[in-house]
Amino acid sequence: MVNRLQFYIDGAWVDPVVKKSTPVVNPATEEAMYEVALGSKADVDKAVAAAKRAFETFSQTSREERVALLEKIIAVYKGRMKDIGAAVSDEMGAPLPMAEKLQAGAGLGHLMSTLDVLKKYEFEETLPASVVVREPVGVVGMITPWNWPLNQIACKVAPALAAGCTMILKPSEFTPTSALIFAEILHEAGVPKGVFNLINGLGPEVGAAMSEHPDIDMISFTGSTRAGIDVAKRAAPTVKRVSQELGGKSPNVILEGADLIKAVTGGVMHMFNNSGQSCNAPSRMIVPAARMKEVAAIAKGVADKTKAGDPRGEGTTIGPVVNRGQWDKIQALINKGIEEGATLVAGGPGLPEGVNKGFYVRPTVFADVKPEMTISREEIFGPVLVIIGAQDESEAVKIANDTPYGLAGYVSAGTIEKAREVGRKIRAGNVNLQGVPNDRTAPFGGYKQSGNGREWGRFGLEEYLEVKAVAGYNAA
């Protein structure tokens, strides 16, 4: 039985200081499934005190102890994959097979990747007259979103544990159950009390209290750029470290000479995956202007075969978006694209055919989009692709970089040499060439208003480490 009306603090399930809750709505049915407790500053204070006490001992554990702990967590996690997948599917609408394989699988992948890093990582480095020691940063506040819940939880918690940090997690109030299951996993695996704490709650209350708390040494935040700015402002007076992975409007540059059918088909499918609710989604497809009609026809073919439907139904490609607020925002932007003169190739406003409830969005493609149009500038966070024409390679790169964001970029070309050349010109933290997916051992994070800091692999571990120079370490 998942403890949705309690928090996990100091190794135990406890009641909130003040009893307050909110319904969790199934986006496929629009019906409330259950209530989840909402925390307050008082709950944050309790959790931080527990994490601060636990840091004194957990920060001194050996690499071998932390390796053994991660191995135990992985073993327990594997037994809960179906539970996690079902929770993610119910709460944010991902099709069940995708939720079990990719959503739950992403969390497992980060745990396993971090374990590999920890086994080999050098925490000390000898210089000519000193030793550089890497030590845990301290108590970490973690704020995670709803779109890839276990991916973002695991890629924060795993390296923090590997580093020897203690932590307080505030997951999204829209997807609380998978996070609560994760807390159960850590408890069963024997994570020492106070090392991991979980409080459900709202950003303006729990998130703000964490960002401002003087005994939290670092905030790791994933979410919107707007919310990330607020976190950074609140964290500034205590000069805590702030690591952020924020929004994106990522370009997918398809150059003359690329395999057009492969590149366009792959780009559209990637864009629609997870109902377009991925911060690194290739949402701006930039193609040779002379090939616009051909590209639009290929994209339409993919969109027409993409079925938005019941997450547990047969043949469903994508489920609903997470809630009414997101649905309304996406609908407004689709209508804005039509008003501003983009060519609607597929989809459009309203519910998909044959659907009369649920937050479903029609898989939508716009062609002939101008770089200055609203749908080309704003992050839509739904299954909506915009196709922009460029006269040549130089203009394609200019359009790709003409954005306040810089999380990801994608390049397809006739040769790998050309893809590499153009990829180096894209101002983004992650660039994928020729349709190759992300590497979990490589860093993930953004330039510009897509954030700062990096997650995943060795780079993710180092976010949770302080660097200490010790002169005279080897003195006689």
Tokens standing for 312?
């547990």
Task: Give the total residue count for the chain.
Answer: 476
Burial of 33 (0-12, 13-18, 19+ CB in 10 A): middle
Task: Please give the Cα distance from 457 to 122 (Å, whole number).
Answer: 14
Task: Please give the Cα distance from 42 to 462 (Å, whole number).
Answer: 31
Active site residue 245: yes
Closest CA to 248 of 460, 456, 452, 428: 428
Q: How many CA atoms lie within 13 A of 473 on its CB side?
A: 14
**140 and 217 Cβ atoms separated by less than 8 Å:** yes
Q: Tell me, what amino acid is at 23?
A: P
Task: Please give the Cα distance from 17 to 116 (Å, whole number).
Answer: 39
State whether residue 58 is helix, strand or coil.
helix
Catalytic residue among 184, 205, 279, 379: 279
Task: Please give the Cα distance from 171 to 274 (Å, whole number).
Answer: 19
State whether residue 26 is helix, strand or coil.
strand
**141 and 134 Cβ atoms separated by less than 8 Å:** no
The one-character DSSP state at 101 is: I
What is the signed CA dihedral for 226, 228, 233, 239, rounded to 10 degrees? -170
List the beta bridge partners of residue 36: 22
Q: Tell me, what amino acid is at 383?
A: P
Burial of 68 (0-12, 13-18, 19+ CB in 10 A): middle
Active site residue 279: yes
Q: Tell me, what amino acid is at 31?
A: E
Query: Distance from CA of residue 20 to its chain's centroid?
Result: 27
Query: Distance from CA of residue 397 to its chain's centroid?
Result: 26
**14 and 6 Cβ atoms separated by less than 8 Å:** yes
How crowded is residue 404: how many other Cβ atoms within 10 Å of its Cβ? 11
List the beta bridge partners of residue 386: 284, 366
**360 and 340 Cβ atoms separated by less than 8 Å:** no
Tokens standing for 392?
């040549």
Strand 408-412 to 251-254 pairing: parallel
Catalytic residue among 100, 184, 245, 379: 245
Q: Catalogue the active-site residues.
A: 245, 279
